Amino acid sequence: MMKLLRFMRKQDRLFALLCVALVAGQVWFDLTMPDFMSDITRLIVTPGSAMKDIWIAGAKMLLCALGSAGLSVIVGYFAARLASNYSFTIREKVFHKVTDFGSEEIKKFSTASLITRTTNDITQIQMLVAMGLMMMIRAPIMAVWAVLKIVGKNWQLSVVTAIAVAIIVTVILILMRLVLPKFRIIQKQIDDVNRVTRENLTGLRIVRAFNAENYQEDKFETVNNNLMVTQLYTTRHMAILMPVISMVMSGLSLAIYWVGASLVNDIPLKGLAAITERVTLFSDVVVFSSYAMYVVMSFMMLIMIFMMLPRAQVSAARINEVLETEPRIQSGHGAAVKTKGEVEFRNVSFRYADASEDCLSDISFTAKPGETVAFIGATGSGKTTLVSLAARLYDATKGEVLLDGKDIREFTFDEISSRVGYISQKAVLFSGTVEENLTFGDAGHPITEEDWKAALDIAQAKDFVENLPRQAQGTVAQGGTNLSGGQKQRLAIARAIARKPEILIFDDSFSALDFRTDAALRKRLSTDLKGVTCLIVAQRIGTVKHADRIVVLDEGKAVGIGTHEELMKHCEVYREIALSQLSQAELEDN
């Protein structure tokens, strides 16, 4: 929790210091009232006391109560403002940190867990600051101040108060030992609920298509029930606190008055001095009772903090885990290059973080500027992983990936982004308009209307966009759910082309296109983007057969590199793939 305090802004720290001063003032008002109560008690039982003096003491007591209430409102306002500003800052830090994460870090935490850490975990800290700040400051000040007020007054009454405090502390320690581990489990179980809910909403059409509603309901019921059981366990144990506190407070009041009555009764009623002593002791008992209640109230406030603190500590640890994780892929310092659009893989091997063996082994090839290099192979052969290295979504485990003759790790992320246009297997669109999706991101230069309209034409998306009710201003739903798979792919391709990159990477980006659109798109790429290097991952022989060079992958190894004609003669794996899709006559037809 303390580690997160470094993110508190200077303005928020001033708010915190102001809260401390205001709370100290509030405590002073609260602890001054029993003194006036003692004066009023003494004046009432003292013969010949003037009514005016009682009214004055009562007025001072009322002013203290009003002062305490006023400061409480002000502290509440500042605490709420501090909590909202602080949570805003942390949430911003977490979001920016997650944005810098690579695929490896995202897989490590999982999307569901990162969502929980950005929302629920930060909310726990915000609640602690908003509700606990006043109590965290007030409770120790009040406890120490109240103890100093009563210390030395009467040892018998002090012992009674100490026993009550000891009982409360013992109960708190026992409950914390039982409950604290469960708070850690709760946050992980919230991750599970988030994950299952997200899966169900994301795959809702699949769930309905396979009539798996009951299966998903059972799956959700399991994680939801686990969370409920854990929360019931913690709530039931923490619910013991309030009855114990109430019982201790009532018992303490009873014990103080009982012991006080015995002490008063022990003073013999002989003469005026004895009467005065009795009145003074009775007044001390009344004041002692008030201060003892303040001590117990301080521990009550500490208990309320302890009820929020364990969960907030767990949340803080989870947030710190995100903030302290350094992305494995770091931006380079920039590289000066001469060529434009050359990609070279030099003895590249790659292994995922938790894998036991390489998924790519000793891959070497060069894509010259303006060339089209295609990648084909069985499912799981490493095609997507290979082109991900060219986009620097991962870094090679061994070997080098060179961009324009320089190690890709030397380039800044902005330089790579401006040079490389990447179209993923799954077309991802964002909520907004068609134009906003086409001009998405920072290309290193302005994307003009002429640029994105030309890109739409090349990507074979111009016709369907013009048929939309508002054309390029037409609405795109989150994830592009109001568009077909082919429409989403064409918009994603147009978005990459509009950036005017030197290198285009198509990661199986033609899979949702029909053969006619596929052929028309590839023709436009070859004629309109002659100087652009294209790396194409595909499953169709028809998509890759006209490439300048084809890399055939099998179990992470390049088993063949060459043109279509060369591979048909010398690469058995490629020939098998080709003959499984097209006849001999179709393969020979150019």
We report the CATH number of the domain holding residue 417 as 3.40.50.300
Shared domain for 383 and 513, answered yes or no, is yes
State which residues of the chain have pLDDT below 50.
Answer: none
User: Tokens representing 487?
Assistant: 């429409």
* CA dist., res. 155 & res. 160, Å (int): 9
Give the Å distances, CA to CA, from 567 to 37, 363, 578: 100, 17, 10
Confidence at residue 225, expressed as pLDDT on a 0 to 100 scale: 92
User: Tokens representing 316?
Assistant: 């803080």
In a domain, 281, yes or no: yes
Shared domain for 268 and 353, answered yes or no, is no
The count of domains in the chain is 2
* CA dist., res. 209 & res. 198, Å (int): 18
Confidence at residue 224, expressed as pLDDT on a 0 to 100 scale: 92
In a domain, 328, yes or no: no
Confidence at residue 464, expressed as pLDDT on a 0 to 100 scale: 83
User: Tokens representing 170?
Assistant: 């013992």
E-strand spans in 194-239? Answer: none
* Residue of 330, 374, 334, 366 lying closest to 347 (CA atoms): 366
Instruction: Give the single-character DSSP code of 333.
Output: -
Confidence at residue 221, expressed as pLDDT on a 0 to 100 scale: 92
Shared domain for 410 and 314, answered yes or no, is no
- Report which residue type is found at 342: E
Give the end of a domain, one of 274, 292, 323.
323
In a domain, 16, yes or no: yes
Confidence at residue 275, expressed as pLDDT on a 0 to 100 scale: 63
Shared domain for 363 and 489, answered yes or no, is yes
In a domain, 41, yes or no: yes
Which residues lie below 8 Å from residue 177, measured CB to CB, with a gap of 6+? none
pLDDT in tens, 262-278: 877 777 766 566 666 66
* Residue of 192, 41, 43, 40 lying closest to 113 (CA atoms): 192
User: Tokens representing 485?
Assistant: 């798979």
Which residues lie below 8 Å from residue 527, measured CB to CB, with a gap of 6+? none
Shared domain for 247 and 371, answered yes or no, is no
* CA dist., res. 305 & res. 318, Å (int): 20
Domain span at residue 453 reads 343-588
pTM of the model: 0.69
**CB 414 within 8 Å of CB 444:** yes
Residue keyed to tokens 């179990």? 555
Give the end of a domain, one of 323, 356, 383.
323
* CA dist., res. 362 & res. 345, Å (int): 9
* CA dist., res. 57 & res. 55, Å (int): 5
**CB 114 within 8 Å of CB 78:** no
Shared domain for 237 and 203, answered yes or no, is yes
Confidence at residue 273, expressed as pLDDT on a 0 to 100 scale: 65
Confidence at residue 586, expressed as pLDDT on a 0 to 100 scale: 61
* Residue of 264, 291, 257 lying closest to 280 (CA atoms): 264
* CA dist., res. 540 & res. 515, Å (int): 10
**CB 183 within 8 Å of CB 128:** no
Shared domain for 297 and 348, answered yes or no, is no
Confidence at residue 206, expressed as pLDDT on a 0 to 100 scale: 84
Confidence at residue 587, expressed as pLDDT on a 0 to 100 scale: 61
**CB 223 within 8 Å of CB 189:** yes
Shared domain for 406 and 291, answered yes or no, is no
* CA dist., res. 395 & res. 570, Å (int): 32
In a domain, 393, yes or no: yes
Give the end of a domain, one of 292, 323, 354.
323
Residues in a beta bridge with 476: 432
In a domain, 337, yes or no: no
* Residue of 428, 348, 354 lying closest to 385 (CA atoms): 348
Half-sphere exposure of 182 (CA within 13 A, CB side): 20
In a domain, 335, yes or no: no
In a domain, 555, yes or no: yes
Instruction: Please report, for the domain that includes residue 209, its CATH number.
Output: 1.20.1560.10
Q: What is the mean pLDDT of the chain?
A: 81
Angle value at C-alpha 433, between 431 and 437, nearest 5 degrees: 75
Confidence at residue 47, expressed as pLDDT on a 0 to 100 scale: 66
* CA dist., res. 25 & res. 27, Å (int): 5
Work out the number of other CB atoms within 10 angstroms of the CB of residue 533. Answer: 26
Shared domain for 255 and 354, answered yes or no, is no
Shared domain for 297 and 385, answered yes or no, is no
Task: Give how far the C-alpha of residue 161 lies from the chain's centroid of Cα atoms, to the nearest Å.
Answer: 45
Shared domain for 300 and 367, answered yes or no, is no
Phi (first) and psi of residue 469, to 5 degrees: -50, -40
* CA dist., res. 561 & res. 538, Å (int): 15
* CA dist., res. 51 & res. 48, Å (int): 9
Shared domain for 297 and 410, answered yes or no, is no
Confidence at residue 48, expressed as pLDDT on a 0 to 100 scale: 67
